[in-house]
Amino acid sequence: MTTTPGQTPAEELLPATRRALLHTIATAQAEGRAPSLVAAVVRGGKTVWHGSRTSVEGHGPDENVQYRIGSITKTFTAVLVLRLRDEGTLDLGDPLEKHLPGTGAGEATIAELLAHTGGLAAESPGPWWERTPGSLRPELADVLGERPHRHPVGRRFHYSNPGYTLLGALIEEVRGAPWEDVLRREVLEPLGMRRTSGQPRTPHAGGWAVHPWADVMLPEPSEDLGRMAPAGQLWSTSGDLARFAVFLTHGDDRVLSTESVREMRTPAAPAGAEEVAAGAAYGLGMQIQHRDGRTLVGHGGSLPGFLAGLMIGVEDDLAAVVLANCTSGPPVSAVAADLVRIVAEAEPRIPEPWRSLPEVDRAVLDLAGPWYWGTHAFALRLTADGDVTLGPLAGDGRRSRFRAGDDGSWTGLDGYYAGELLRAVEGPNGSVTHLDLGSFVFTRQPYGDGAPVPGGVDPEGWRGIK
């Protein structure tokens, strides 16, 4: 591999960085009193570090040992739903009732279920569902109970395991096959995730409860969740979840496009006071948090005997996976976030070399440069991938990226103008007179003569106060 002088190959981490990562997971395993803990770090689409700690001498788990991953399963279920949307089978705005009638919870849209805003209860009624067999809840009515809702639909974020049970049932209804079979065929096999499954496969860790006041352990039962499998059934490995992290960062057209995984990572639920205080949000099957000055996306998971965390720093192109086999113990998602931070700070991402655009639309190039919304100065810039951005020349303000459509307009992708149309408006002589963005007029000069500004421009022009 060719490297720039002073730069290590992409797949290597510096010795000091590796030691810091090992120190972090060793501390987590010791202080969290986890029987075992395994972790992996991904950078630039490749696994660059793997580490583990164990209480049993000589039995450190490697990247192929399965652990139960709990609610990280929800992200896999969300990927399957987005696939149905992308192929045109359904719309995220569809009420569940349209595709899965008769549940008693069909008023919620598919998007609301993905974002935990469907108003449903957090848990299933009856015995503690994580420690009892799924055969106790054979039908959706058993999962939902007589009173499935706790809040008005769409009004607030309320994490719901039954909500993802409904999404799994939706997938089965549309595909005509069991949820796990669809998952294996459409996601696991294309991504090469051969060690991810609904039931444990050797080698796998056993789940343990560690006594809170003594260094003794108790084995936890491992139940088949039945109908609730799409909310938390899966077993996986640090190696497979590292592959999944690469997919959630970059997309894979065999499964979901880059645009669709970016949509999953975008906040979709209104944040309550608790989420605001924690700097957290929820997208479509993905948790979002702001930590140490960076945005991290991913998901945590837990079932009796197991803890799991997957965190991705998209801007740093870094991800970390942490798995442990204890009911309570190390805060694995926080540990994963720390692993991302350690590498990002110790070995900052080296930018790709600047390169000129291979070609450019001259008409779009003519639009580049300063524009004024009233007296506010903005700049329109072309990006390397053919989009344009419009944002303040200096300071904070409304800033968005836009993608070209077939009709010559651009659609906002993010920020204040997400979904809004940006158009270049031509005058009688064919030259562009202004930009129209959701009815706002941007002109080349602030309130220039003849500018098509609603309300008109004072004919005396700019002047001082006498």
- Mean pLDDT, rounded, for 385-399: 92
pLDDT reading at 61 higher than 70: yes
pLDDT in tens, 153-166: 999 999 999 999 99
Q: Which residue has the higher pLDDT, 240 or 1?
A: 240
Q: Give the domain-ending residue among 282, 314, 346.
A: 346
Beta-strand ranges (E) seen in 316-355 are 318-324
Mean pLDDT throughout 242-265?
Answer: 97
372 and 310: one domain?
no
Looking at the fold, whether 391 and 308 belong to one and the same domain comes out as no
What are the pLDDT digits (tens) for 70-79? 999 999 999 9
What are residue 301's DSSP bridge partners?
308
Whether residue 3 is predicted with pLDDT greater than 70 in this model: the reply is no
Do 39 and 155 have their domain in common? yes
177 has a pLDDT exceeding 70: yes
Residue 59: the pLDDT is: 78
Same domain membership, residue 48 and residue 77: yes
Residue 265's nearest CA partner among 227, 223, 304, 313 is 313
pLDDT > 90 fraction of the chain, expressed in percent and rounded: 82
Q: CA 390 to CA 382: how far, in whole Å?
A: 9
Please check the confidence at residue 449 and state whether its pLDDT lies above 80: no
CATH number at residue 211: 3.40.710.10
**Do 298 and 426 fall into the same domain?**
no
Q: Yes or no: say if 105 and 166 are a contact pair by the CB < 8 Å rule.
A: yes
Q: How many Å apart are CA 157 and CA 279, to the nearest integer?
A: 14
Residue 100's nearest CA partner among 161, 144, 150 is 144
Residue 203 maps to a domain: yes
Residues 313 and 414 in one domain: no
- Mean pLDDT for 113-121 is 97
CB count, 10 Å around CB of 415?
Answer: 16
Q: What is the mean pLDDT of residues 298-319?
A: 97
H or E, element range at 15: helix 15-32
Residue 453 lies in a domain: no
Q: Who's near 64: CB < 8 A, 6+ residues apart?
A: 195, 203, 237, 239
Q: What is the mean pLDDT of the chain?
A: 93
What percentage of residues in the chain have a pLDDT greater than 70?
A: 98
Q: Are residues 279 and 408 in the same domain?
A: no
**Do both 233 and 285 map to the same domain?**
yes
Tell me, yes or no, whether 247 and 394 share the same domain. no
Residue 383 in any domain: the answer is yes
- Left if phi > 0, otherwise alpha if psi is -120 to 50, otherwise beta: which for 153? beta
Count of domains forming the chain: 2
Domain boundary among 346, 376, 407: 346
Q: What is the pLDDT of residues 336-352, one digit of tens each?
A: 999 999 999 999 988 88
Distance CA 110, CA 93 (A): 6
Is 459 within a domain? no
pLDDT at 5: 37
Per-residue pLDDT at 163: 98
pLDDT at 8: 40
pTM, two decimal places: 0.89
CA dihedral over 164, 169, 174, 178, signed as positive or negative: positive
The domain in which residue 278 lies consists of 20-346
Give me the mean pLDDT over the 414-437 stretch.
92
Strands in 193-293 per DSSP E: 208-210, 217-219, 235-236, 280-282, 287-291
pLDDT at 308 over 90: yes
Instruction: Specify the pLDDT at position 4.
Output: 36
Q: Are residues 394 and 246 in the same domain?
A: no
User: Tokens 């490297």 identify what position?
Assistant: 3
Give residue 452's pLDDT band: very low, low, confident or very high (50, 70, 90): confident
List the one residue out of 228, 162, 172, 239 whose CA is nearest residue 198: 228
Q: Is residue 90 part of a domain?
A: yes
pLDDT attached to residue 11? 65
Instruction: For residues 192 and 314, state if they share a domain.
Output: yes
284, 319, 346 — which closes off a domain?
346
Arithmetic mean of pLDDT, 179-189 = 98
Selection from 223, 116, 227 nearest residue 173 by Cα: 227
Residue 87 has pLDDT above 90, yes or no: yes
Q: From the CB of residue 179, how many other CB atoms can be counted at a distance below 10 Å?
A: 24
- State the DSSP code for 352: P
Confirm whether 65 is domain-assigned: yes
pLDDT at 153: 95
Determine the Cα angle at 388 with ends 383 and 393, to 5°: 95
User: Averaged over 263-272, what is the pLDDT?
Assistant: 88
In the predicted structure, residue 368 carries a pLDDT above the cut 80: yes
Query: Does the structure show a pLDDT above 70 at 380?
Result: yes
Residue 275 is predicted with a pLDDT of 75
- What is the model's pLDDT at position 280? 86
Same domain for 259 and 372? Answer: no
Instruction: Let me know: does 68 contact 131? Beta carbons within 8 Å.
Output: no
For residue 6, pLDDT over 50 is answered with no
- 97 in Cβ contact with 208 (< 8 Å): no
H/E segment holding residue 25: helix 15-32
- Residue 1's pLDDT is what? 34
Tokens of 33: 């009193």
Answer yes or no: are the C-beta atoms of 204 and 67 closer than 8 Å.
yes
DSSP for 149-176, written as a single string: BSS-TTSS----HHHHHHHHHHHHHHHT
